[in-house]
């Protein structure tokens, strides 16, 4: 079975540009999570969805960040405008048992560099 699929794997763009990260969760999973990983702050939960509805976006750093889940098989994380401090690896994860403590399956991440 296919795991969580993220695209692109790498993105290099200039400051001020819009960045869109994409995620396809595992089929049948009803919870989706976006994380950001940096050396300084480790792995941070940005937002999570349950049945396509955003449940907790308290980790989204600023209004420049937005996330959508238009259907059960697709989610996007958008940064507009991007800044150098947004450089990080962004992970998407999905879970089949809701956010109540089920195990999460991670994609291989998008390595984002903002110049």
Partner 1 sequence: SQQGEEDPQALSIQEGENATMNCSYKTSINNLQWYRQNSGRGLVHLILIRSNEREKHSGRLRVTLDTSKKSSSLLITASRAADTASYFCATVLPEGKLIFGQGTELSVKP
Which residues of this chain interact with partner 1, rule CB under 8 A?
Answer: 4, 33, 42-43, 45, 48, 56, 91, 93, 98-101, 103-109
Burial class for 57, CB neighbours closer than 10 Å (0-12, 13-18, 19+):
middle
Please compute Rg for the chain using Cα positions. Answer: 13
- Dist. CA 71–CA 75, nearest whole Å: 8
**Closer Cβ to partner 1, 78 or 105, answer by number:** 105
**Closer Cβ to partner 1, 16 or 61, answer by number:** 61
Taking CA atoms, 77 is separated from 21, 100, 101, in Å, by 5, 23, 23
Q: Which of 10, 19, 30 is nearest to 100 (CA)?
A: 30
Nearest approach in angstroms of CB 107 to partner 1 is 5
Nearest approach in angstroms of CB 33 to partner 1 is 8
- Dist. CA 14–CA 85, nearest whole Å: 12
**Closer Cβ to partner 1, 70 or 100, answer by number:** 100
Nearest approach in angstroms of CB 1 to partner 1 is 15
Nearest approach in angstroms of CB 17 to partner 1 is 24
**Closer Cβ to partner 1, 7 or 17, answer by number:** 7
């Amino acid at each position: 079975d296919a795991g969580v699929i993220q695209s692109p794997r790498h993105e290099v763009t200039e400051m001020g540009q819009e960045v869109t990260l994409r995620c396809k969760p595992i089929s049948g999973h009803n919870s989706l999570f976006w994380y950001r990983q940096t050396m300084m702050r480790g792995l941070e939960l940005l937002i999570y969805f349950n049945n396509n509805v955003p449940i907790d976006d308290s980790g989204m750093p600023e209004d420049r960040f937005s996330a959508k889940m238009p259907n059960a098989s697709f989610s996007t994380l958008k940064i507009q405008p991007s800044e150098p401090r947004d450089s990080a690896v962004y992970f998407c994860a999905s879970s089949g048992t809701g956010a109540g403590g089920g195990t999460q399956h991670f994609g291989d991440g998008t390595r984002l560099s903002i110049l």
